[in-house]
Every structure is written in C-alpha cells, then in structure tokens.
Structure 1
C-alpha cells in the first residue's frame, strides 16, 4: 500500500500477517515462538514483545489504531493514518 500500513482482523494469525507484509515489500517485526498459531488480537491484548523487542518495541509501538465494537454494539474507530515522531531522522 502507498501509506505503508497494514490492516488485520483480531483473529488473523501472526505468521499470515507477516507473510502479507512481506508480499507488499514491508515487514512486521513482531517475532514470537508461537507465531504460527497466535493471533494479532491476542498480541495486542497482551502487548507481546518477542525477540525483536529491543529494536522495534512492544506490540503497542507497532499499532497505529484500533477499530472496536463496544459491548452495547457501537463502533469505536480509533484508526490513525500517521503517528507523529519528531525525534529526528530514522536511521
């Protein structure tokens, strides 16, 4: 995609998300031992770290926003297209 973002459902398996990112010449750096069976929803809920945590951060550092359905059925849209980062050049 042109904006280099990836959207995934909560039930998407981490390995499938990583494969979809690689197919678009991107990377999803979260790497876990159970990446063939764990889901993105579980990773976000537990703020999973994985073996690349020191370089890329926790799961919350990789998420731009969430679209959720609240218990009363209303849709909460917290999707953001860009995260402000003014720390300097990303080398």
Structure 2
C-alpha cells in the first residue's frame, strides 16, 4: 500500500498536479491515466505473468500431497478440504 501511495504521488507530480489549485490539462490527463491506462497495463502484465507461470497438474498434485502431509491428513487417507 505504501508503494502504491508513493507511486501515485510521484506520477501526479510528473504531470504537474498542484493541490488546492485549478488543474492544468496536463494534470487532468495524468489523473485520467492513473485511473485508466496505468491500472489496465498492470493488470495485463499480471495476466501475462500468470499465463506463463509454469504450474502443471503434476506440480499441483505434489504441492497438495506435501500440504496434506504437513497438516497430518495423509495418515487416515483424508484430504484437506478447501473452504470458501
């Protein structure tokens, strides 16, 4: 959260934002970009990262087995149930 707040302030200053004053066209453009293009670009980057994350079915099963073992579910044939 602190990084996001600091980054927001930095971006606003790049576009010439001045508090308690009428904003210039450049400042208004910066504000619009902060609420539209920048978040969309970061969301797209996140989707691309998840798409290329190398997690396969065999790895998921190995992780589940290790977690079940850590929590003691492997002894009685039980499995951990996901709770919403």
- Bigger Cα Rg: 2
TM-score after normalising by structure 2 = 0.24
Structure number with higher relative contact order (C-alpha < 8 Å, ≥ 6 residues apart): 1
Q: TM-score, normalised by structure 1?
A: 0.23
- Which has a greater percent of strand? 1
Q: Which has the higher helix share?
A: 2
